Structure 1
Amino acid sequence: MVEEQQNNPLHGLKLETLITELVECYDWKILYAALKLECFNLNPSIEGCLKFLKKTEWAREKVEHFYLYRYKRMPKAVGAQFDLKPRERGFAPGIMPRKPMELTFESIARMHAQAAENFDANRNASGPRGSGRPQGNRKNSGYDNRAGAGQSSNSYRRDGDSSSKPSRAVSSDPSNPWGK
């Protein structure tokens, strides 16, 4: 586990440093547009964000996920790594972070639209609509959307049902770990 953690950009990184790097690169408004966390919108400050993120695990994981896959642009998690929290994930030796993704309000809106489209496609493909759960209320639907804001994902699952998660293609080319 220690060897894997050495290949994770979050290993040993303080939350304060992570937030500072993101704010310096993107600014508060872009972070709010991408992540939809009020700590980036209402009187944003490093101290306020730290206080909120230390108390709110799901929000902290969302920010760490954004840091790994949008800011550091590491390859997407697959297999058993997908179910791990961002700080617990490891990457193959030799995979280095890339240049941060350039984000604009327009690109974020496109990512949100693509994520919603993928969510709807996956929900419609999962079976008949008469499944007993309300269509308009995703809060208690039993789905765990781990993609985070602004990320398209073809994966979904019902709590306790890992078989409903489609597999993701992994590149067989060792020089291309991103699978694209």
Structure 2
Amino acid sequence: MILLSDPLYLFVFIGLFSPGPNIILLTASGAKFGFQRTLPHLLGVVIGVGVTAGLTAFGLGAILLALPSLTFALKICAALWILWMAWGLWNSKPREIDGTDMPMTFLQAVLFQWVNPKIWAVALTAVSVYSSGLTPIGEALRLASAFSGINFFVCMFWTFAGTLLTYLLSSEIAWYNFMRLMALALVAFSIMIFV
């Protein structure tokens, strides 16, 4: 019932469910590595998003808004990291797993949230529009739990969707087309950071 009474939860769900770097990467990882091997990546996204949202509510968001040069530096880091991940998807081989071909780790996924512009945008909007008037710590805990709790189910859905795509990607051409489409989506997102 609390989900229906607080518009924050609907906003966070829509913000996190819509396509962005996490959705693209989890779907591609689910298709390439399967659900179980993608689980550390998934959990890293869930924890990282919650920490980022909590810190935003605690005041880090206000610092970013007050320091445009820091915001621009974060955008540059985000664009470069996203382009690097796009390059990896573009060159991805069909379901061949060797020592160099591994899903994103838990720590990599947590750290990526620090430069994920979509998460910052959703968290900054949530803090400014859906504040409940709690203490800074209470607001940080409220936002962190909302983002992590909702994102857990969002990430599960997209990772599982990726594993189901494996059946459609049985030919090498279908695989390359899918991975290159995911890579191009990441490239487009890296450009949108600056728009």
Shorter-chain TM-score range: under 0.3
TM-score, normalisation: structure 1? 0.27
TM-score, normalisation: structure 2? 0.26
Q: Which has the higher contact order (CA 8 A, sep 6+)?
A: 2
Question: Which protein is richer in helix relative to its size?
Answer: 2
